Structure 1
């Protein structure tokens, strides 16, 4: 797959179009995958000091979206149409989360992606997510 947006252009797009997530950034973009970071803040924690499920779901959603944009370019209106997430273990306290994403299928109107979420420095994923996105038709 060809890369249409690199790390800097994805981060600029994220800041411009989604200023509500200043704690999310793209670490790397490669042909095979995209790695997106969530800088964990106090508001992401649930009782017991672990990162909340909704926070991990949000990271996966943004990360897979950005992995799709890395391939198709800046299409702001691509939307999630299906999602499934498995929470497998407790994230390690005090560490950022990293979502390693890959695109499983990239069609004309649908894209399917997968994210494995890790605590930074951890070897075992804390969550696994798959999502399908609808890509709006291009007008020309």
Structure 2
């Protein structure tokens, strides 16, 4: 099945995220790439992301998974600011070493009411995943 073409580029998605969450986008996750059926989001590293033990916290990884899925929905469904997370299931695969977090989200299904996404997160490289999430968004209808 061919991936759906995006309706927005990275700059357009970042602008929508800034509209939806004023002030959060500065210094937070940024969409760096949009391609058919995929987005890449980078969350700059900060010491405040660490948990005891020196790895990036689980809530940070969950937030990035959700943000990447939302960005993917916006990129492919357009201005759908009222899309909401209806399900998020995450597997923590290894401790995320300190460093910029990268999330790559892939659209598994984009329907009229639901968007289903796969999100993979890493700091050390895509061959050393820190987490993988399945995220479903309910679309306004």
TM-score (norm 2): 0.91
Match of 1:10 among 13, 19, 22: 13
Specify which of 25, 41, 47 is matched with residue 36 of structure 1.
41
Q: Hey, what does 1:80 align to over in structure 2?
A: 85
Partner of 1:107: 111
Is residue 126 of structure 1 aligned with residue 130 of structure 2? yes
Q: Please tell me the root mean square deviation across aligned C-alpha atoms, in Å.
A: 1.3
Shift of 1:57: 0.1
Distance 1:55 1:79, change over 3 A: same
Structure 2's unaligned 5+ residue stretches are none
Rounded to whole Å, the distance in 1 between the matches of 2:50 and 2:25 is 15
Deviations for 1:99-138, whole angstroms, at most 9, x for unmatched residues? 010010100001100100011545211100001110001x
Indicate conservation of the 8 Å contact 2:43/2:64, yes or no: yes
CA shift, 1:41, in A, is 1.3
The 2-side partners of 1:13 and 1:42 are apart by: 27
Q: CA deviation at 1:21?
A: 4.4
Q: Is the 8 A contact 1:81 1:134 kept in 2?
A: yes
- 3-state SS, counterpart of residue 76 of structure 1: coil
Checking the alignment, whether the CA contact within 8 Å between 1:98 and 1:120 is kept in structure 2 is: no
Aligned residue for 1:98? 102
Unaligned stretches of 5+ residues in structure 1: none
Question: Could you list the per-position Cα deviations for residues 78-117 of structure 1 after superposition, in whole angstroms to 9, with x for gaps in the alignment?
Answer: 0001110000001122x10100100101000011001000
